[in-house]
A and B are shown apart, each in its own frame.
Chain A
Amino acid sequence: MTNNYTKKHEYPGLLIVIEGTDGSGKSTQINKLKDWLAVESYGAMVSEWKTSALISGAIDQAKEKNLLNANTFSLLYASDFTDRLEKNIIPALKAGLIVLMDRYTYTAYARDVVRGVKPGWVRNLYNFAPTPDIVFYLDMPVKALMKRIIATTGLDYYESGRDIGLSTDFYKSFKIYQARILEEYSKMAHEFNFITIDGNLTINTIHNQIKERVKELINSGAIK
């Protein structure tokens, strides 16, 4: 099967991904990076997980009813991703913009595999996705994550992996689920050359680390 993961994309723009579990601080970092890029006069665009015009509404509805099995769950998110990829991300990359991705295919590889789909299947499902120029992974231990999530959004049915029947106790279920997700991410860190950053560092320290890497990338002439 053809797999794009062995070669970088050939678009003039830059594809920068930030990955991590819920509550790892991805969105905060994306926003800071975007602001900095604007100051430096680079055109940047953000694309977030599950925001396509085509299908994000249907995903929310289905999740409300808690009626998704693993394959359906996976395919719905792949539809969302593909719609954004074709309508927003690739056109922006072609136009030479810097595209900042809040989650990318790796999120699916982690979540869907934890839900029981085969790692090879879901990687093939996304094999048409361009390989990012750089992937940052915000690594957070489960304990710290739990506190952040409980303090902000609260425990959600799917984020707690309740759909896979790990435990009827929300807290316990969340803990087991997120630990499994973290395990998948750490396996991928090597597989896909993630730049792993300690999510416990301060917001500014993380931002500076990301900024340095992006600066290097831009200075290396990655934007064509």
Chain B
Amino acid sequence: MRLNQNHDLPGTLIVVEGIDGSGKSTQLAILRDWLQNIGQDVIFTEWNSSKLISQTTKRAKKKNMLSPRTFSLLHAVDFADRLEQVIVPALKAGFIVLSDRYAFTAFARDVARGVQPEWVRNTYGFAIKPDLSMYFSVPVEVSLERICSNRQPKFYESGMDLNLNPDPYESYKIFQNRVIEEYDKMVDEYNLIKIDATNTVHEQQVIFRDIVRKKLEEKGCSI
């Protein structure tokens, strides 16, 4: 599977992973600004954002129409479309591609929903192996506090489709703890670099930047 082999494209693929409210998007945004400021060619892509399917998926989520497997497949469609339309062409053209969530999000969430780990890994087998995969690790309580300061957790993000607990907050904790468990398993399997996301934004960014700088140097790109 392509996901397990180093790519030989001129660009660099950097992905951030973590549960909702881990601060990964903030970290990626700061990194992006920095890379652009120092004159790097950067492309950004995020989970469930393809023109092809993201609206269909959002509608289906609102109507609670999705089973664990169709949930998984629709996100795979979105990913496949962005991979071929955005990520691969940009890597071929030598861009630094910043991806907010990647196949590992599916491996964590879908397995937490009861989908077989081998099946979802096969489904995403065509994905390009990232040069760097950062995992922003945060306890579920912190995540809940950050995302639900002004709203209830949503149906699927709290795993309400699994009937874990009638209370969305309780359900969120149970479900996202399962997601965290899956992420932790992937640290070794896919060399995710774990960053303690309870540290300050600045502290995390300093570590993140340092790792990115080293990776780019390693790839022969001095910055």
Measured between alpha carbons, how far is A67 from B51 in the docked complex, in Å? Answer: 11
9 A-B Cβ contacts within 8 A? A55-B74, A58-B53, A58-B56, A62-B52, A67-B52, A75-B77, A75-B80, A76-B77, A128-B119
Size class of the A contact interface (CB-based, 8 Å) = 20 to 34
CB of A31 closer than 8 Å to a CB of B: no
When distances are taken between beta carbons in the complex, the residues of chain A under 8 Å from B80 are: 69, 71-72, 75
B70 touches A75 (CB 8 A): no
Besides A71-B84, A75-B73, A82-B67, 15 other CB < 8 A contacts? A54-B65, A55-B74, A57-B56, A58-B53, A58-B56, A62-B52, A69-B80, A69-B84, A71-B80, A71-B126, A72-B80, A72-B81, A86-B70, A117-B126, A124-B123
Interface residues of A in 186-217 (CB under 8 A from B): none
When distances are taken between beta carbons in the complex, the residues of chain A under 8 Å from B66 are: 54
Given known A82-B70, A86-B67, contact A75–B52 (CB-CB < 8 A) = no
When distances are taken between beta carbons in the complex, the residues of chain A under 8 Å from B118 are: 1-2, 124
- Which A residues form the contact surface with B (CB < 8 A)? 1-2, 53-55, 57-58, 62, 67-69, 71-72, 75-76, 78-79, 82-83, 86, 117, 121, 124-125, 127-128
- Which B residues form the contact surface with A (CB < 8 A)? 52-53, 56, 60, 65-67, 69-70, 73-74, 76-77, 80-81, 83-85, 116, 118-119, 122-123, 125-126
A54 touches B123 (CB 8 A): no
When distances are taken between beta carbons in the complex, the residues of chain A under 8 Å from B122 are: 1, 121, 124-125
B52 touches A72 (CB 8 A): yes
Measured between alpha carbons, how far is A68 from B123 in the docked complex, in Å? Answer: 17
Q: Across chains A and B, which 4 residue pairs bring their CB atoms closest together, nearest first?
A: A79-B73, A71-B80, A69-B84, A72-B80
Measured between alpha carbons, how far is A41 from B111 in the docked complex, in Å? Answer: 43
**Nearest CB in chain B to that of A58: its residue:** B56
B119 touches A1 (CB 8 A): yes
When distances are taken between beta carbons in the complex, the residues of chain B under 8 Å from A71 are: 80, 83-84, 126
Measured between alpha carbons, how far is A55 from B54 in the docked complex, in Å? Answer: 11
B77 touches A82 (CB 8 A): no
Choice from B69, B76, B83 contacting A86 with Cβ under 8 Å:
B69
When distances are taken between beta carbons in the complex, the residues of chain B under 8 Å from A83 are: 67, 70
Chain B nearest Cβ from A2, distance in angstroms: 7
Choice from A53, A67, A125 contacting B123 with Cβ under 8 Å:
A125
**Nearest CB in chain A to that of B1: its residue:** A121
When distances are taken between beta carbons in the complex, the residues of chain B under 8 Å from A1 are: 118-119, 122
